[in-house]
A and B are shown apart, each in its own frame.
Chain A
Amino acid sequence: MIDALPLAVTLPLIGALAVTVWPAHARGLGLAGALITAVSALTVTTEVWSRGALRADLGGWGAPLGIALEADGLSAAFLAMANLVALAVSVYAGGYFKRETARHFWPLWLLLWSALNGLFLAADLFNLYVTLELLGLSAAALGALTGTREAVAANLRYLLVGLLGSMSYLLGVALVYAAYGVLDIGLVAEAVEPGPVAWTAMTLMIGGLILKAALFPMHFWLPPAHANAPAPVSAALSALVVKAAFYLALRLWLDVFAPVLGEAAANLLGILGAGAVVWGSWRALRAERLKLLAAYSTVAQMGYLFIAFPLLAATPPGLARENLLAAVVLLALTHGFAKAGLFLAAGMVQKTAGHDRIDELGGAAQALPAATFAIGLAGVALIGLPPSGTFLAKWMMLEQAMILGLWWWLVVMMVGTLLAAAYIFRVLSRAFNREPTPYRFVNDASTELPALLLGLIATFGLGIAAQPLWRLLEQGAFG
């Protein structure tokens, strides 16, 4: 069933159109669109799982002119995570937004979803640019949905930074085309040769992407933008949008520019990642508001992902490298689930308390056991404690670092882990106080259960049953 591939991209687009045409039914149509999109995307993943890499050339044009979609293990893994998270966010948003905001939310949200799926599936560099831009535009528009001055200003900055990043990426694409005359990832990968052109193109493209992935010190735009957005949007931005930029950087690194790379470039990314881990965690610890804490934690978590580059570069090809890569993917996926869960639960606490100042959250946290559990479970995954997927991923990354003798990465990651424990428990400790509350585990099912479910997937699902990921990632690659 090749058809699922274009459906994953077009269904949300159709949904976006439908909710625009019938705004009165935005919620129902939006939820329906969300459901069928997720189903089609998960079909793609199961197809890749059982049959190997998929490819679809839309309109029969084929490379180099047509729009081609492709799914291998790596994209299928990210696709599955993104669509499960997006589905949970949709259910949550269905209960979260009032009628008026809902009309603005759903079209933009489905557009973002379409761009996201497109980004994971696009097979050529230019279509990737288009999805990247669409993603940035819809994300910025969603982020400003509350309409407050802080939100608009933060998202304007986000938009401009995103444009700068895309421009840099596009320039790289132009260079690639000038040098090799092709844009299809597989064809570029065959043509690319080490040299100044390839090196410049790589620098421009990956440079643009790390700007969008908010890698330290280019993270400045992220905390205000993510902290001021409505909860479901923050969840999507932190869990998915920055992750998509990382995915693309990883994809280009692995599939296209592999012959070009030097260890120096990988080390540079790793050092920036280390800076992100320490600085992001520290700022999260000092944050006064829960959502700002979560946003800074995203900065830190993106740092861990970039520490993977020097480790990957130093590991010779073979089983060890494949395992390491899978661990990195596991880290990214777990963080996606955990961070979305954290933001959704935080939104619930914020709504109940009327604010999100951490020091005064006590009553609300104790009154919402399910939301607090979700924060706890997500927190376990963010810290990297067992039995979460991050624990396994970090263990494998650190073990490989020690095998390579690169012990300083272990020091950085442990410092980050301890700081993360400190900032997560700073929040959780508020749930223990003397305010008497009638204990009911679930108070608002449609918002608390998605958050709880995401936390459970991050902490138990991916921690105990991550094994299939290894098989999925073996399923083919571009080219």
Chain B
Amino acid sequence: MTSHVLGTQLLYGGSGILLVLLGLWSFLVHAPLLRKLIAINVMGAGVFHLLVAIAYRGIDTPPDPVPHALVLTGIVVAVSATALALAFGKRLDRDGD
């Protein structure tokens, strides 16, 4: 693998890990549901970022399809989870009134 590929992977992957840490921090310190949910999604985005970086094999080579498949599936799961959490939140809000 060329150093170009490695550099790109490091940049993307590194920022992905940064996002995960950022999300984790936010998840742990913030109480409101919405912030927690966003934090979880930021974490998810970080993980997906990392996976995309792993798939990268240079400009001329087609990327590895496996991580891409993982990201797609992961997004679907994350969306459903977010939807369910929001539904719960709405229920609590309504009861709270």
Binding site for B on A (CB under 8 A): 64-65, 126, 129-130, 133-134, 136-137, 140-141, 144, 147, 149, 152-153, 155-156, 159-160, 163-164, 167, 170-171, 173-174, 177-178, 183
A145 to B77 CA separation, bound complex (whole angstroms): 21
Name the residue in B33, B43, B84 with the highest tally of chain A Cβ atoms < 10 Å from its Cβ.
B84
Contact with A along B76-97 (1 / 0, CB 8 A): 0100110011001101100100
A51 to B71 CA separation, bound complex (whole angstroms): 37
Are A133 and B77 in touch, CB under 8 angstroms? yes
Main SS at interface, chain A: helix
23 pairs, CB–CB < 8 Å, chain A vs chain B: A129-B74, A133-B81, A134-B77, A136-B81, A141-B84, A144-B91, A147-B91, A149-B92, A149-B95, A156-B33, A159-B81, A159-B84, A160-B37, A164-B27, A167-B40, A167-B43, A170-B47, A170-B74, A174-B47, A174-B54, A174-B70, A177-B51, A178-B54
Are B84 and A126 in touch, CB under 8 angstroms? no
A178 to B9 CA separation, bound complex (whole angstroms): 10
Among the listed B47, B65, B66, B77, which residue makes an inter-chain contact with A183, where contact means beta carbons less than 8 Å apart? B66
Interface residues of B, count at CB 8 A: 31
Which residues from chain A contact B73 at a C-beta distance below 8 Å? 126, 130
Which residues from chain B contact A149 at a C-beta distance below 8 Å? 92, 95
Give the shortest distance, in Å, between B53 (CB) and chain A (any CB): 8
Are A155 and B88 in touch, CB under 8 angstroms? yes
Which residues from chain A contact B24 at a C-beta distance below 8 Å? 164
Binding site for A on B (CB under 8 A): 13, 20, 24, 27, 33, 36-37, 40, 43-44, 47, 50-51, 54, 65-67, 69-70, 73-74, 77, 80-81, 84-85, 88-89, 91-92, 95
Are A65 and B66 in touch, CB under 8 angstroms? yes
Give the shortest distance, in Å, between A16 (CB) and chain B (any CB): 14
Are B44 and A177 in touch, CB under 8 angstroms? no
Which residues from chain A contact B44 at a C-beta distance below 8 Å? 167
* CB-nearest residue of chain B to A183: B66
Are B51 and A174 in touch, CB under 8 angstroms? yes
Which residues from chain A contact B85 at a C-beta distance below 8 Å? 156, 159-160, 163
* CB-nearest residue of chain B to A156: B88
Give the shortest distance, in Å, between B78 (CB) and chain A (any CB): 8
Give the shortest distance, in Å, between B92 (CB) and chain A (any CB): 6
Are A126 and B70 in touch, CB under 8 angstroms? yes
Are B84 and A140 in touch, CB under 8 angstroms? yes
Give the shortest distance, in Å, between B29 (CB) and chain A (any CB): 13
Given A137-B80, A164-B40, A171-B20, A152 contacting B66 (CB threshold 8 A): no
Which residues from chain B contact A170 at a C-beta distance below 8 Å? 47, 74
Give the shortest distance, in Å, between B60 (CB) and chain A (any CB): 20
Are B77 and A130 in touch, CB under 8 angstroms? yes
Are B20 and A153 in touch, CB under 8 angstroms? no
A173 to B67 CA separation, bound complex (whole angstroms): 10
Are B66 and A64 in touch, CB under 8 angstroms? yes
A126 to B77 CA separation, bound complex (whole angstroms): 12
A141 to B85 CA separation, bound complex (whole angstroms): 9
A159 to B92 CA separation, bound complex (whole angstroms): 14
Additional pairs, 12, CB under 8 Å, beyond known A156-B85, A171-B20, A178-B50: A126-B70, A134-B77, A136-B81, A137-B80, A141-B84, A152-B88, A152-B91, A160-B40, A167-B40, A174-B50, A174-B54, A183-B66
Are A177 and B54 in touch, CB under 8 angstroms? yes
A147 to B90 CA separation, bound complex (whole angstroms): 12
A147 to B65 CA separation, bound complex (whole angstroms): 42
A64 to B80 CA separation, bound complex (whole angstroms): 26
Are A65 and B47 in touch, CB under 8 angstroms? no
7 closest cross-chain pairs (CB), A and B: A156-B88, A133-B77, A178-B54, A149-B95, A167-B43, A174-B50, A152-B91
A327 to B85 CA separation, bound complex (whole angstroms): 38
Are A153 and B40 in touch, CB under 8 angstroms? no
Name the residue in B20, B36, B81 with the highest tally of chain A Cβ atoms < 10 Å from its Cβ.
B81
